[in-house]
């Protein structure tokens, strides 16, 4: 949540704080007065900078590690940095261009393939953990149903969704069906049930089942009970690159934190809740430390953005990493990825 920093900090203090956070993100070391004087471009004495730092520490923007004369940003300092960074915009990053190369709409046959690759691309480009929720698409309509007899009591059920997503399932039936019965049933179902989602088919069947002919009713029941909707029994979020976080010194040094974090990745419930909240945001959203109150890890930050189909939000994606992440780069990569996924889903459905 953005704050009115102008009431708390002078322009000079804001600049020094921004330089401090930038240096700490880059180097991972407490930042001293000499570095602040050099990198800020301000002609200030070390004593003046130390006074400004003391004021920032009193206001809760920076902290002093016991082992160093320099200072490090707090959650509040990171929040200032992120909010002012978002206001001034970001420059084009090579990582964003790499995302563009890997998320061409024509390269993916199904939304699920696109989502899985988006998560992997986010992970590969950022070297953090990439997360993408499964799109809540009301678009899994049935395009075609076919029944192919394999043996006396075995049938191959082929259901095509959205003209391109194919699901096959071999089933065993108590009754034997001739190929002509299977063809007649498929023709009837294609004439009366295509264009509907599996849920809509189930609802209609409850009403119409008694009126259908025996073999058609039996085969339709088989199709909706054995062949699941593509989104059923599917994880709600795809996570890639969890192991990247093992190389982050701030996290790998605390085995308890790592253990709890990997439990989150495995269970996924907290991730889904966080990403659901993020889907209500307009554009990129950033959670620092325990701000989300859903993913309570003080050393973590999450950068997210919703993605859409034809202007309707259907999911969220993002990256999870240490507080000391390069936010400007992450913001742009996540934003570009969300736009590309939105474009691919909108034009490829």
Q: What is the domain class of 5-87 according to CATH?
A: mainly alpha
Q: Find the helix or strand (DSSP H, E) in which 34 lies.
A: helix 33-40
Class of residue 192 by CB neighbours under 10 A (exposed 0-12, middle 13-18, buried 19+): middle
76-110: pLDDT as tens digits: 999 999 988 766 555 556 777 788 888 876 566 67
Measured between alpha carbons, how far is 310 from 31 in angstroms, rounded to an integer? Answer: 46
CA gap 45, 83 in Å, rounded? 28
Mean pLDDT of the chain: 81
In this prediction, residue 105 carries a pLDDT of 62
- The dihedral region occupied by 304, where left means phi > 0, alpha psi between -120 and 50, and beta the remainder, is beta
Q: Which fold has domain 94-137+234-348?
A: Beta-Lactamase (3.30.450)
Higher pLDDT: 120 or 137? It is 120
Out of 3.40.920.10, 3.40.1160.10, 3.30.390.60, 3.50.50.60, select the CATH number for domain 142-226: 3.30.390.60
At 51 the pLDDT is 93
> What backbone torsions phi and psi does residue 331 show, to the nearest 5 degrees?
-60, -45
Check pLDDT > 90 for residue 30: yes
pTM: 0.72
Q: Kindly tell me if the per-residue pLDDT of 197 is higher than 80.
A: no
Look at residue 1 and tell me whether its pLDDT is greater than 50.
no
Encoded tokens for 239: 């996570």
pLDDT band at 181, cuts 50/70/90? confident
Pair 307, 346: CB distance under 8 Å: no
**Torsion of Cα atoms, 100 then 27 then 289 then 251, to 10°:** 90
Average pLDDT over residues 322-331: 91
What number of other Cβ atoms are within 10 A of residue 163's Cβ? 9
Annotated domain spans of the chain? 5-87, 94-137+234-348, 142-226
Angstrom distance (rounded) from CA 230 to CA 239: 19
Count, residues in the chain: 349
- Give the range among 49-53, 174-178, 236-240, 333-337 with minimum mean pLDDT: 174-178
* SS3 letters across 291-312: CCCCCCCCCEEEEEEEEEECCE
Is the confidence at residue 146, as pLDDT, over 50? yes
pLDDT attached to residue 2 = 46
Distance CA 113, CA 5 (A): 43
312 DSSP 8-state letter = E
Helix (H, G, I), strand (E, B) or coil at 64: coil
Sign of CA dihedral 232, 237, 240, 242: negative
Which pLDDT score is estimated for 21? 95
């Amino acid at each position: 949540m953005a704050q009115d920093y102008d009431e708390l900090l002078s322009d000079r203090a804001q600049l020094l704080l921004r330089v401090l956070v930038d240096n700490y993100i880059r180097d991972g070391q407490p930042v001293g007065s000499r570095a602040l004087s050099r990198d800020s471009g301000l002609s200030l004495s070390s004593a003046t900078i130390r006074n400004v730092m003391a004021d920032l520490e009193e206001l809760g923007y920076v902290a002093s590690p016991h082992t160093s004369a320099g200072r490090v940003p707090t959650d509040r300092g990171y929040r200032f940095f992120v909010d002012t960074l978002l206001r001034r915009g970001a420059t084009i990053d090579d990582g964003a261009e790499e995302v563009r190369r890997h998320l061409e709409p024509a390269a993916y046959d199904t939304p699920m393939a696109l989502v899985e690759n988006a998560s992997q691309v986010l992970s590969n480009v950022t070297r953090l953990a990439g997360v993408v929720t499964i799109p809540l698409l009301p678009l899994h309509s049935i395009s075609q149903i076919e029944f192919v007899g394999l043996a006396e009591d075995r049938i191959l059920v082929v259901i095509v969704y959205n003209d391109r997503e194919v699901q096959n399932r071999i089933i065993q039936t108590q009754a034997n069906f001739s190929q002509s019965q299977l063809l007649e049933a498929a023709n009837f179902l294609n004439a009366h049930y295509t264009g509907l989602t599996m849920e809509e088919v189930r609802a209609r069947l409850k009403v119409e089942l008694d009126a259908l002919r025996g073999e058609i009713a039996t085969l339709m029941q088989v199709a909706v009970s054995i062949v699941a909707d593509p989104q059923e029994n599917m994880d709600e979020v795809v996570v890639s690159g969890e192991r990247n976080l093992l190389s982050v010194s701030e996290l790998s040094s605390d085995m308890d934190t790592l253990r709890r974090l990997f439990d989150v990745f495995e269970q996924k419930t907290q991730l889904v809740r966080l990403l659901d909240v993020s889907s209500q945001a307009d554009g990129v959203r950033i959670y620092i430390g325990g701000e989300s109150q859903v993913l309570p890890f003080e050393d973590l930050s999450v950068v997210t953005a919703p993605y859409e189909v034809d202007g309707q939000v259907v999911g969220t994606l993002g990256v999870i990493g240490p507080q000391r992440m390069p936010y400007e780069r992450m913001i742009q990569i996540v934003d570009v990825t969300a736009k590309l996924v939105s474009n691919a889903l909108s034009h490829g459905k």
